[in-house]
Every structure is written in structure tokens, then in C-alpha cells.
Chain A
Amino acid sequence: MAFNLTGSRSLLSPDRAFRAIALTAAVVTAATLAIIFVVLVLGSIPALTATALPEFIAANAGPIFGTVATAIIAIAVAGPIGILAAVYLVEFAPKRLAIVLTFVVELIAAIPSVVFGLWALNDLSIRLRDSVEWWVASSIGKFIPFFSEDSGNPAADSVFRAGFLVGIMIIPLVVSLSREIIRAVPISLREGYIGMGATRWETIRQVVLPTARVGIIGALMLALGRALGETIAVTMVIGGSNDVPGSIFQPGSTIATRIATTLPEASEDVKSVLIALGVILFFVSLGLSLAMRLAARQTAKITASVK
């Protein structure tokens, strides 16, 4: 809310001074972002101009593949669970239980990722290995090498584990965003459908979720952006191999982990490559944030059209 009341007339009045100070703070913030932007883009130019894009991708296929693979696995884990949990919290849960459970879910987001990494290294990995990984590897894995595993010597770290862990870490984000979107669907729509003799789930599936669909996709995009940037937890469970792994149950790396582990000691050209990769990561997550804002605007339009 802006009050454009001019203070007293003198140039150095307290009003003017205060406003100037506050403005400076805002400008500093914007400038910080701008500087980051400029520095990163400039730093990446050497690497991006030295080789053509296809070769660049091929040379860095390992981290790029790892980034994409972990992100997909993360969304595959967090998407269904997060959305269904949001549905439960908004549509089915009794009010008090919903408040408590929502609170607990949001608390997960507060835990530092390095703690998640340490836990995953020692607990989650073992559980995953003995359950999901074994199951997938012995079924689909027998036919598709991509999902296979050397059963005599299963890898300690893998792309799959990293992806699963990141998935667990972004569930709270998916839940809280989806909750807001689902709650924004007007009650009148639900009542209209139930009034015609629909069950609760039918209303959710045929009225609520379709109305919320655009917004939820936006939420998933934002979560995807967050997943891409996850560094330390991934570093601890992905293994650090620079090549494209033959299977998701093998070690790999992501852009973020490469930067974190090799930047400090890197030579000049490697540095530039890493910066270029970082810039790509930045722009992708930027694009995803923007997509989310667009999606939110679309959902608002849909719910507003219910006159």
C-alpha cells in the first residue's frame, strides 16, 4: 500500500531521509540479484563460446544426465504422494487433525539438507536397497539394463537413491503449495456436485482436481526447480562419478554436486565449464519459477470465472 504523502518540503527532512534509506535497501537487493546475474553470465561465456552446444552437452553428459534423472525420480516420488496428501488434508481430514498434520509436514522443510544426507547415507539407503531397488532390479532390471543392478555387489551410492532422497525432501513443498491451490477451489463447486449425488472422491476427481490442475502443475514445476538445486544431500548419496551411469542404481553426479566438489580446485577452463553449467541450472530453475507464477495466475482466472 503506498501513501504518497510528501513529508515536509525541505530536502533533508526526516521523511525524505527515511524514504531514501528504505529505497536504498530495496535497490541494494535488486542490485545484488543483478550483479549475480551479470557475473554468472560473463563467467560462463568462455566455456559456452569455446564449444558448440551439442559438444558441450556431450562433454558434460554425466552431470547433466544425473541432474535430469534425479529430478525426474524426485518428482515421481514427491508428486503423487504430495498431491494425495494435500487432498487428504484439505478434503478428508477432520479440522484439528488437518492442522496438526499440516504443521508436521511443513516442519520437514526446516531440516537442513546435510542432516537429510547423513540420515539417508546410513538409513534410507539400506531400506531402499533392500526393498525398492531389489524389487525393480530383479524384475524390470533383468530386461532393461537401465534398471539393473549388480546383485553381487550393489553400489553404495546411486542416482536412484539421490533422486528418492530429494523427492522426500520436496514433499512438504508440494503439499503446502497443492493445499493452497485445492483450498482455493470454491466450496460452491463442491456443493453443486455433491448436491447431484456424487461421493466425496468423485467430487475431488471430477471437479476439484480438474479445476486445480493448472495450479498443481505449477506447484510441481516449482518443486522441480527446488529439486534441481539440491546439492549437499545429493552429494552425500550419489557417489560422484563423472560419467553417465549405465543404470540408475549406479553412482552418478549432478551439476550441483560437480560444482560443489570440484570448483575450489578447478583449473581455469574447468572453472568456466562449471560456471556455465551453473548458469544453465540457474536459468532452468528461473524458468520453472516463472512457469509457476503463470500457472498461479491461470488458476486464479479459472476460480474467478465462477461468477
Chain B
Amino acid sequence: MGSEETTKRATKGTTSRLTGSDGADSAAPDTRPASTYALELNNVEAFYGTFRAVAGVSLKIAPKSVTAFIGPSGCGKSTLLRVLNRMHETLPGTSVKGETLLDGVDLYGPKVDPVRARRLVGMVFQKPNPFPTMSIYENVISGLRLAGVRSKSELEGVAETSLRKAALWDEVKDKLHQPGTSLSGGQQQRLCIARTIAVKPEIVLMDEPCSALDPVATLKVEELVRELAVDYTIVIVTHNMQQASRVSNTTAFFSMNEQRAGYLVEMDATNKIFTNPKEQLTSDYVAGRFG
């Protein structure tokens, strides 16, 4: 993001806080420190009814990095991911405890509207899910339309930028008005990535984005993830350890305790986790001795 945009954002932020609904801040200068972490979790827990699926996770994620969540199946990685974009609560009977801070702001604060929160934290799903009744172009701008962007030039501009960033522009520029589902699996997933980044989220979550793709498409998406990390903070859940070591800067290893709740075992720079982890459990998993 260029410096021009950054300044615009800062001014925008101050102005709206002056005129915003929380009148208490309107006169005071902004003394909140800019958070150095894009995402900070303090003792976050996730429940399905009374069952605790994720137990006391605390971690910090740096901006513009790729963090991989790895671990055997069933240890809450996807659940934790869905806590981060407030999708976990869309299932009935679920609840979340602990503190989830996005750029220092509590994502679950009392004034926070989950609908707005989801615009800041985007998600790419395991199975590509382009909207079948929308064209490729309409798919990409769907998030922007929701945000209220009406100007055709702006929409077209962002669509092209996003599709270029998702390495899909050349393949679809002549068929933007064909249905989103007319693409191959790998292309569909890149389309989903394009529409996710079109709204310029703070964080992009990816839940095993390559597991439904063939090896060629997988490599393309991995390459894309590395490129996107220049502009976005990415958290990717993956079962594939080689993938984690290929795309991420930081890796978090999760496992399951006796009550079948997932917990964070160890989190460190990726090459450290894979060559010289601190925990025995980590090195066992990485060496393929279980999971």
C-alpha cells in the first residue's frame, strides 16, 4: 500500500473518530500506540456448546507475514481460524473466550458489528466457492458492492488490480462476463483469492486452500501466497508440512490435549520449527512420527 493511501487512511481515521458515535473520543487526541502486531491472541478459547475445541491460545502475528498453522486433524486449527473472522459464531450454540486483537483493537468488542469485522479479515475456503449466478467480474467485486462502492470506474479498476494480484487477469480478461463456475478448480480458487483481496482486508485467512486442487494449481496458489505477503498479512492452515515450509515465515504447531481440545504447542520461525524445534512433540510431528 503506497504512502498516499496510508495518509488518506490516517486522515480518514481521525475524521471519523471526531464525528463518530463514541462521543467520548471526539476531543481527545489519539494516544493509542499503533500496534506492532497485526493479530494478537490472548488466551483465546473456542466452544461448541460446552465442548472446548480450542484451549487457551496466545500468540502474536506480525504484519505482512505468512504464518502457517499446522498440526494433526481435529486439533482446532480451522476452528481457531474461524474465530479470527467471527465466522465461528455463525453456528448455533458456539462461543468464544479470551482476547482477539486486530491491530490492537478488540475484534469482539461490545461495539463491534461482526459484519464489519468480516470485511477486515478475509477468508479463502478449502473448496473454491465462486458464486455460480455471478460472472467472474461480479464475483470479484461482490465484496466491494457490499461495502457500498457504486462507481463503475472504481469497481472496474479494483477488479483488474485484484485479478492481476491473484495472477488470474491474463487468463480471464477476455471472459470477465462468463460465470464464475466456468473456470477450472485452480482458477476458481484464485478467483476467490481475488475477491477476498479486492476489499483490502487487514488479514487474509486461508483454510487449506490447496487441498481440493491438483498439484499444478497448488504450486500456482502457493506462489501467489508468497507474492501476496508483500501487501497482506496471511494466516494459512495446512495439513501439508512441505507447503508450510515453502510459503510461510512463521509456523505455529497445534496439537490436541486429553480433553480433545486444541492447544498451541510451539510457534517460531518456519525454518526453526522444521529443523530445530523446542518441543519434542513438534519434532515428532514434523518428522512424520504421528499425525
State yes or no: do A and B touch (Cβ within 8 Å).
yes
What sequence of 0s and 1s flags, for each residue 132-146 of chain B, a beta carbon within 8 Å of any chain A beta carbon? 111000000011001
Known: A186-B129, A307-B181. A195 touches B87 (CB 8 A): yes
Q: Which B residues are CB-close (under 8 A) to A193? A: 131, 142
Partner of A307 from B115, B118, B127 at Cβ < 8 Å = B127
Say which one of B2-10, B55-63, B188-196, B227-235 lies at the interface with A. Answer: B188-196
Interface residue B85 (Cβ < 8 Å from any Cβ of A) = yes
CA distance A194 to B196 in the complex (A): 12
B131 touches A196 (CB 8 A): no
A193 to B141 Cα, complex, angstroms:
12
Residue on A nearest B212 in the bound complex, by CB: A307
* Cβ-closest 4 pairs across A and B: A197-B119, A210-B133, A196-B143, A197-B118
Instruction: Provide the main secondary structure of the chain B interface.
Output: mixed
A40 to B85 CA separation, bound complex (whole angstroms): 63
Q: Can you report 20 A-B residue pairs in the complex whose CB atoms are below 8 A from each other?
A: A189-B131, A191-B125, A191-B129, A192-B130, A192-B131, A192-B192, A194-B87, A195-B118, A196-B199, A197-B146, A197-B147, A202-B146, A207-B133, A211-B133, A302-B132, A305-B132, A306-B127, A306-B132, A307-B127, A307-B212
Contacts of B72 in A (CB 8 A): none
Interface residues of A in 187-222 (CB under 8 A from B): 188-189, 191-199, 202, 206-207, 210-211, 213
A9 CB within 8 Å of chain B: no
Residues of chain B with a CB closer than 8 A to A197's CB? 115-119, 143, 146-147, 199
Q: Using Cβ atoms and an 8 Å threshold, which residues of chain B touch A95?
A: 92
Kindly report which residue of chain B lies nearest to residue A301, judged by CB atoms: B132
Q: Which residues of B contact A210 (CB under 8 A)?
A: 133-134
Q: Cβ of B142: which chain A residues have Cβ within 8 Å of it?
A: 193, 196, 206
CB distance from B37 to the nearest CB of A (A): 23
B262 within 8 A of A: no
B181 near A306 with CB under 8 A, answer yes
Residues of B within 8 A of A94 (CB): 92
Closest beta carbon of chain B to A187's beta carbon, Å: 9
Task: Check B122 for interface membership: any CB of A closer than 8 A.
Answer: yes
A302 touches B130 (CB 8 A): no
Neighbouring B residues of A305 by C-beta, 8 Å: 132, 179, 181
- Chain A residues in 8 Å Cβ range of B116: 197
B123 within 8 A of A: yes
Q: Quick one: closest A residue to B117, CB to CB? A: A197
B181: A residues at CB distance < 8 A: 305-307
Q: How far is the CA of A303 from the CA of B143 in the complex (A)?
A: 21
